[in-house]
Amino acid sequence: DTGVSQDPRHKITKRGQNVTFRCDPISEHNRLYWYRQTLGQGPEFLTYFQNEAQLEKSRLLSDRFSAERPKGSFSTLEIQRTEQGDSAMYLCASRPQVSPYNEQFFGPGTRLTVL
Amino acid sequence: AQSVTQLDSQVPVFEEAPVELRCNYSSSVSVYLFWYVQYPNQGLQLLLKYLSGSTLVKGINGFEAEFNKSQTSFHLRKPSVHISDTAEYFCAVSDRIYNQGGKLIFGQGTELSVKP
């Protein structure tokens, strides 16, 4: 399978715990994006990387959120001190830097439930 | 900045009937336009995209969309729907500025429910 993969697919945690999600993009896609999708809403942009550099962060990405892409391949998204409002689907997408259009390829998402 | 409005949150339709899902956008710069589909508990799959040229764009699964610049709309249509088309549909835009981030701005989604 050469698509975008995310792990885990589901995560249930208690309020105040830390969680970490992983995204493996399509090989040779050097741009990687994170989005958050709450129930009944469209995905909202969180941040993106070009290779290992984090080039843009949304104001939605509070200081409890941190994302990394240390070797320019897979990426992790960590949420510290989770709150119930963090419950959402977290989507990862990737694309080549040079693209005639901005089509992004999405993974299946990680659904987070904070109790 | 860009914004996307999907005018219908839910669209119920009978099998084999035609359907139109409406999308309007706002942007101060030129944009690319997309429609994505999301089946339950899955990620997003691209249905079609508009870059330039012909304003009628054909996508997968028999869907098509028409770009209307004067009305800033990009409505999605299918002449005859199937039960398997039941899903959430998202309209999205991305700016055309070279070497910018290319993030997608999504609408709120339209839930298409096809009934037998």
Gap between the terminal Cα atoms of chain B = 41
Pairwise pLDDT comparison (A39 vs A1), residue with the higher score: A39
Q: Provide the percentage of residues in chain A whose pLDDT is more than 70.
A: 98
How many interchain CB pairs under 8 A, A with B?
64
- A24 or B54, which is more confident: A24
Contact residues, chain B, for A91 at CB < 8 Å = 43-44
Rounded to whole angstroms, the Cα distance separating A107 from B61 reads 20
Mean pLDDT of all residues in B53-66: 92
Average pLDDT over residues A60-89: 94
Q: What pLDDT, in 10s, does the model give residues B20-31?
A: 999 999 988 888
The Cα A85–Cα A82 span in angstroms is 8
Task: Flag whether residue B105 sits within 8 Å of chain A, measured between CB atoms.
Answer: yes
Best of B103, B106, B110, B111 to mutate (most A CBs within 10 Å, chain A):
B103
Tell me which H or E stretch contains B69: none
Confidence class of residue B15 from pLDDT cuts 50, 70 and 90?
Answer: very high
Q: Which of B5, B36, B44, B47 to mutate to test the interface with A (most CBs of A within 10 A)?
A: B44
User: pLDDT class for B101, splitting at 50, 70, 90?
Assistant: confident
pLDDT digits (tens, 9 = 90+) for B73-89: 999 999 999 999 999 99
Between A80 and B55, the higher pLDDT residue: A80
- Please return the burial class of A36, using the count of CB atoms within 10 Å of its CB with bins 0-12, 13-18 and 19+: buried
Q: Which of A35, A42, A102 sits opposite B102 (nearest CB)?
A: A102
Q: How do beta strands B2-6 and B10-14 pair?
A: unpaired
